[in-house]
Amino acid sequence: MENVSFAMAFVAGLLSFLSPCILPLIPAYLSFLTGSAASALTTQEAKTNLMPKAIGFVLGFSLIFIIMGASASKLGQLFTEYKPVLTKVGGLVIILLGIHLTGLLKIKFLYREKRLISFSEKNRGLGSVFIGMAFATGWTPCIGPILAAILIYAGSMETVSSGVLLLSFYSLGLALPFLLTALAIHKFSLYFRRFAKYLNHVAIGSGLLLILTGILIFTDKLTILASF
C-alpha cells in the first residue's frame, strides 16, 4: 500500500514540474540563480556554476515540502477518531482539485500567485536554498492542487515518518527533472518548444489522475492499485 502511495507521490512531483506555469519558467529560475542567461551556459559551465545552485534550490523546496508532510501527518493523528469522515472529505476535495486542473471548473483563488521574493538583482544574493524555500512556500498557481492532494493524503497516514517519506518522494519527482534540466540547460529551449504544445494535455492528465485518486480515497479503494 505505502509503496503504491510513494510511487504516486513521485509521479505527482513529475507532473508538478511539467505543469503549464512551472516548466516554462524553469529557465527564468536558473537564470536568476546564476545571474546570466541560462541558455547561454555550456555543459561545463552548467556543471561548475549552475548545478551547485540548482542542488541548493531543490534542497530548499524539498525541506519545506517535507515539513508540510510531517505537519499534515501529525495533524491527522490528532483527529484519529474522525479519520473515516476526514478521509471522505479529503477524497472529495482531491476530486474538486482534479476537476479544477482539467479546466472544467475554475477555482479563482488557485490562480493567485504570491512570490515571497522577486526576480531582481538585489535578491540574487539570498542563496539558492532560501530561494528554493521561498518557491515552495509562496508559489502555488499550478503545484497547489497537486501538492494539496498529496498533503491531504499525508494527513491520513498512520505515522509522521510515512508523511515525511510521502513528501520526500514528491520532492524527488519535482527535483530530478529540475536537476537534469540544469545539467543540460543549453538544450532545454529546443526540447521545450517541441513539448510546449502538450502542456495543456499534461494539465488535463494531472486533473484526471487527481480525480481518480480522490475517488479511490473516498471509497477507501486505493489499495487496488497495488495489484497492477
Mean pLDDT check: name the lowest of 121-125, 132-136, 156-160.
121-125
Q: Output DSSP code: residue 132.
A: H
In a domain, 101, yes or no: yes
Find, among 71, 30, 58, 50, the residue nearest to 170 by Cα.
58
In a domain, 44, yes or no: no
Domain span including residue 182: 2-32+59-227
- For CA atoms 215, 217, 218, 220, the dihedral sign is positive
What global pTM score does this model have?
A: 0.77
Looking at the structure of the chain, the number of domains it has is: 1
In a domain, 39, yes or no: no
In a domain, 166, yes or no: yes
CA distances from 18 to 12, 121, 177, 197, 199 (A): 10, 27, 9, 12, 7
In a domain, 49, yes or no: no
Of 190 and 125, the structure prediction assigns the larger pLDDT to 190
Residue with cell 556554476: 49
In a domain, 95, yes or no: yes
C-alpha–C-alpha distance, residues 200 and 19, integer Å: 8
Dihedral, 217, 223, 224, 227 alpha carbons, nearest 10: 150
Q: Which three cell numbers stand for residue 137?
A: 512556500
The 10s digit of each residue's pLDDT in 26-43 is 777 777 776 655 555 555
The 10s digit of each residue's pLDDT in 52-67 is 888 888 999 899 899 9
Neighbours of 61 (CB within 10 A): 23
In a domain, 172, yes or no: yes
In a domain, 94, yes or no: yes
C-alpha–C-alpha distance, residues 151 and 143, integer Å: 12
